[in-house]
Amino acid sequence: MKANDLLNVRHANLADARIAMTELLENRRPNYSLDAPLYNDPHMFRLDMEEVFQKQWLFVGMTSEIPKKGDYFTIEVGQNPILVLRDGEGNVNAFHNTCRHRGSLICTEHRGKVANLVCPYHQWTYDLKGNLLFAGTEMNEGFDLKQHGLQAAHCKTAGGFIFVCLGKEQPEDEFDDFLATLETYMEPYQVENTKLAAESHMYERANWKLVLENNRECYHCNASHPELLNSLLEWDDTNDPRAPQEFHDHYNEQAAQWDAEGIPHLHQSFGEKQRNRMVRMPLKKGTHVMTMDGKHASKKLLGRIKNSQLGSMRILHLPNSWNHMQSDHFIVFRVLPISAQETMVTTKWFVHKDAVEGVDYDSDNLRHVWDATNEQDKVLGERNQLGINSIGYQPGPYSETYEFGVINFLDWYADTMLKGLK
């Protein structure tokens, strides 16, 4: 078969997949899980990548990971390698990590520091703003350096969070409102005065939506997460319909202390189906942070924080991040799809930049609860995927009380996909 014929077949398959996905999403039963192809079909996965991960704002990392000029990190969004770095003016920029000469990767390491960006293939050289500085003497006289700078990706920061959008145009939504509130809610932590203390990359044999679904409910927590429930209250937020009066009394007591210190805590949500959300939640009485004993993981509190019982400020950003901000450290989670049934979950722990490992904090203690929880969730997600792959699978009902977060997520996903597919 000739190349053009193969291309036509590929396009035909995608066109068929668009029609099939539209039909599945338009006819899906409300408050039920999705049909199997939406969790395991490669063509529908590609549509997920095109309509969600190549068009929506994605969380990629924290500004304190690249504190100085020339610091960078790289990520892969499907088949799209991305480079995030800080320029000489202190701005955070994002570029497609592909040389304008013949497309080679420019930065091949996960993290690093550069004076300029030099492609290792033919030494084309770019500055930290993506401008092409050098292309050798072999190019013809009419070659214009200015026309061959790196392809930029949209990049925004707020409260120390870095978001990237790979689309030609930025989505028209309430994202900037979310960023403004995120800036306010993150102010007490002074993220620029933190540092990355630990990082894990967990490969999970499950569709990215199953990873998010699992995160959006704690229905499974009692049976699966003993370490996490040493400190975490299972209620999703202050509006959780399951929460008893005892919880509200505990929250009100803690909130009075937060108000006295000027610490934001009220539930805030933005976008359709609470796509972006933040709320400060107390931890169990007597615990300070998410460690096995509930005691501090680091001796140095973050930013201007004085009250060690700050609970956890939970920040959700669909499609790929959830986060826990605490008094002495914070934890961020990033989800990036690999294939229809493979996902990379990255977890990062941050502490005060002056905290010394072995003196102020112990990495094993810092990581223990969420390392265990991540591994438990991996098992759950992979079992979920195996069951969905069965010919016996049929979409099942969600609990509107225990799994309302999952319902919100899938409603957002379905609405987003249908808008893109039409």
Instruction: Give 290-345 pLDDT, tens digit per residue.
Output: 999 999 999 999 999 999 999 999 999 999 999 999 999 999 999 999 999 999 99
Say if residue 143 is in the same domain as residue 65.
yes
Say if residue 130 is in the same domain as residue 207.
no
In a domain, 419, yes or no: no
Question: Last residue of some domain: 146, 165, 184?
Answer: 165
Q: Record the pTM.
A: 0.95
Tokens 């901000």 label which residue? 325
In a domain, 172, yes or no: no
CATH of the domain at 301: 3.90.380.10
Tokens 């390698």 label which residue? 81
For the stretch 55-84, pLDDT in tens is 999 999 999 999 999 999 999 999 999 999
Percent of the chain predicted with pLDDT > 70: 97
In a domain, 308, yes or no: yes
Say if residue 226 is in the same domain as residue 364.
yes
Question: In this predicted structure, what is the pLDDT of residue 93?
Answer: 98
